[in-house]
Structure 1
């Protein structure tokens, strides 16, 4: 077999492959003989069909099968022979039968070869924060709010109060589907309703009726209502204000704290958890900042096959998350057309580009995973579990789980390598701002 190759782009190679006719004929004749032993043709006993008859009746089809199989096998032989780092499946073109050879062309995408621009040109913001007493008190209040109850009030409805009411909506004097409900409960300020609806209820009291005017957003999901002015008749039945639970023995018990240990133990535990969140949040922030700067500073030509694989991975991940949230029945209603490639393309390209650049840094810097950092990462993570020793044992001995942690630690090592060379500016932020940024990053 003869092979030549040429570059057709930075991420594609064209192979010209020539397979001797003798190899094709040898396999063709062998397959004819095997077929003769199994084929059924009228006038001949099973296994006694002459090869010439099989050649006449089935030769053309068998020959094409042999050609297809030879191309399938030899194209990967050719890729190995030319030491091509291929990604995706090769595309076969221009198949010809010549007197002495079967000749074809194959185009295959290759892993991009990149040069990472000097890291000292990167500008990276590294944020820091600390948890103070006020942050802990706010978190305690949030824990109370999660378990709050409601107490009736005769006063006016205000933001953060819960209102129970009946409503009936009309557009141009006509009722519309989904525009009415009885005993509907709404926490004012939650943003559940269209703009202006909740504002119209603020100030109302139990037993009060009122008609409020609102306008549906232009991008409202029901096209027949989008942008339309509407009137809602509101009948308030109950106004309730939030009632936070006392931080007493019963409340402390929820968190496994005895009355003797008291609220100070709860605060200490809360602070410890918050500090762990801060540590992870800061690590994620600087990692995102470093990787974003790296991607922005380097151009990489991406193979379409790698992008397509990443798009499919992200699509499957979203379907899996949907299944976990809504169950198997909900997943069945998920049509692939609801998740087109364009939905993932931008993020997929960024992810593939980052992966290529990080791999290049790992190779150039000869970075290898630090086993001590892996152990420290596992031990730190285990402190949030009831039995840390059991968790440590599991992650250290499960190859798959340990490999995932090693990948995370190796990424952290790449970040440290980038930061050591880049221009880094340190910024102090509040715990609350860090939390908001982290939530926005997760949603984005």
Structure 2
């Protein structure tokens, strides 16, 4: 076998392979001879069909089968001998495939990029410093009360935050349009779930009142026939309901797993959960900045095969998130919606792998167990969670990967200029949700 490798780009290789004709012809002849033992044809006894007939009838199919197997086997041998690191499946194509001639084929493949990791020396990283205050706890408890509120009919006019029960029908001019009507529909004013301007015009309405509401559909509205159109809605208000917030009593407190209904114990539990959430927000915010600095310092080529794998994974996540069902064909979702995020993820993954390699990072079983125990604290029965994770190799591997990523971020953080910035609990959560570049855009707006 003769092999040569052409470098067609930084991450693409073309392998040219030549296999002696004798090897292919002998393999085809042996397989035809073996097949002849079981062939039945009219006019011949089993195993007595002449080889010339066998070759004429089955020769082309057998040769294609042999050539396919040989190309796959020689491809594997070639990438092993040439020490290539494929990033996906190759495209294999026979260029010469004729009886009596050497088999020639090419395999085009992407390889993992080889690069020298640049540091993030001097990168500016802001690390939020957060203290969960009593006022933060009060606000969170108020949020929990609202989430568990009941709706009770009121005699007054509707206000922001109230729920109105309405019948409505929409018109374009004098003609009603499809999908523009409903009966006994519950709508929370201020929720933003209706067309802009619709909910505002129901403020001040009372039960039994009829209203005519004028709105303009957004230019990017999902129903193209309505986009940008002016419409009117005839609305009947059936009922106005206000939120009846529950008291912070034993019954309310026990819903959140605090036995005995003690208010101070409840506040302590809420604060503990908020502190854990704040710590995670700080960690995520720092990690975002470090990884963005790492990307900026290392502009590496990204194999398209890896990007496509990541795109497929993001599509499945999106289908699951939006409840499209297990049978939904994710190929219906356009690639371009996910390509940029997928490319970023692949780039970060390749860079972190190099950071882990360069710094010789590892995670012991004791470290993995400690991390699992930390994660398990947010569950009601943490011991069972720990037992499940530690008894499952796949779950342990996931935790180990997360640990190695944390260690890699810490190693990178040592290279950066870290500035502590005091933030409120809400500010820290908002900062953790920011995407790279958001701060710059906000500064431009200011």
Instruction: Please tell me whether the aligned partners of residues 370 and 409 of structure 1 are also in contact (alpha carbons under 8 angstroms).
Output: no
Structure-2-length-normalised TM-score: 0.91
Instruction: Please tell me whether the aligned partners of residues 131 and 431 of structure 1 are also in contact (alpha carbons under 8 angstroms).
Output: yes
State the alpha-carbon separation in 1 of the partners of residues 167 and 61 from structure 2.
Answer: 74
Instruction: Please tell me whether the aligned partners of residues 163 and 186 of structure 1 are also in contact (alpha carbons under 8 angstroms).
Output: yes
SS across alignment from 2:3: strand
Structure 1 residue 317, shift from structure 2 partner = 2.8
Spell out the pairing of 1:36-51 with structure 2 (5 A cutoff): 36-51=36-51
SS across alignment from 2:37: helix
SS across alignment from 1:65: helix
State the alpha-carbon separation in 1 of the partners of residues 283 and 359 from structure 2.
Answer: 21
Instruction: Please tell me whether the aligned partners of residues 119 and 422 of structure 1 are also in contact (alpha carbons under 8 angstroms).
Output: yes
SS across alignment from 1:197: coil
Structure 1 residue 119, shift from structure 2 partner = 2.1
Structure 1 residue 143, shift from structure 2 partner = 1.1
Q: Which residue does the alignment assign to 2:400?
A: 406
Structure 1 residue 355, shift from structure 2 partner = 1.0
Structure 1 gaps of 5+ residues are none
SS across alignment from 2:224: coil
SS across alignment from 2:194: coil
Structure 1 residue 370, shift from structure 2 partner = 4.7
Structure 1 residue 299, shift from structure 2 partner = 1.0
Q: Which residue does the alignment assign to 2:427?
A: 433
Q: Which residue does the alignment assign to 2:231?
A: 230
Deviations 1:237-279 (A, max 9, x none): 22222111111222122233355x5211110111111111112
State the alpha-carbon separation in 2 of the partners of residues 111 and 318 from structure 1.
Answer: 27
State the alpha-carbon separation in 1 of the partners of residues 367 and 97 from structure 2.
Answer: 59
SS across alignment from 2:199: helix
Sort the Cα spacing of 1:33 and 1:144 in 2 relative to 1 into closer, same or farther, 3 A.
Answer: same
Spell out the pairing of 1:8-23 with structure 2 (5 A cutoff): 8-23=8-23
Match of 2:368 among 360, 369, 374: 374
Instruction: Please tell me whether the aligned partners of residues 122 and 294 of structure 1 are also in contact (alpha carbons under 8 angstroms).
Output: no
Instruction: Please tell me whether the aligned partners of residues 161 and 188 of structure 1 are also in contact (alpha carbons under 8 angstroms).
Output: yes
State the alpha-carbon separation in 1 of the partners of residues 168 and 89 from structure 2.
Answer: 59
Q: Which residue does the alignment assign to 1:146?
A: 147
SS across alignment from 1:421: coil
The reply on whether 1:310 has 2:310 as its aligned counterpart is: yes
State the alpha-carbon separation in 2 of the partners of residues 121 and 23 from structure 1.
Answer: 60
State the alpha-carbon separation in 2 of the partners of residues 406 and 221 from structure 1.
Answer: 43
Instruction: Please tell me whether the aligned partners of residues 122 and 297 of structure 1 are also in contact (alpha carbons under 8 angstroms).
Output: no
Q: Which residue does the alignment assign to 2:295?
A: 295
Structure 1 residue 331, shift from structure 2 partner = 4.2
Count of residue correspondences: 435
Structure 1 residue 438, shift from structure 2 partner = 4.1
Structure 2 gaps of 5+ residues are 439-446
SS across alignment from 2:44: coil
The reply on whether 1:340 has 2:342 as its aligned counterpart is: no
Q: Which residue does the alignment assign to 1:34?
A: 34
Q: Which residue does the alignment assign to 2:56?
A: 56
State the alpha-carbon separation in 2 of the partners of residues 385 and 104 from structure 1.
Answer: 57
The reply on whether 1:356 has 2:356 as its aligned counterpart is: no
Structure 1 residue 44, shift from structure 2 partner = 1.0
Sort the Cα spacing of 1:5 and 1:337 in 2 relative to 1 into closer, same or farther, 3 A.
Answer: closer
State the alpha-carbon separation in 2 of the partners of residues 15 and 321 from structure 1.
Answer: 42
CA RMSD, 1 decimal: 2.1
Structure-1-length-normalised TM-score: 0.92
State the alpha-carbon separation in 2 of the partners of residues 321 and 151 from structure 1.
Answer: 32
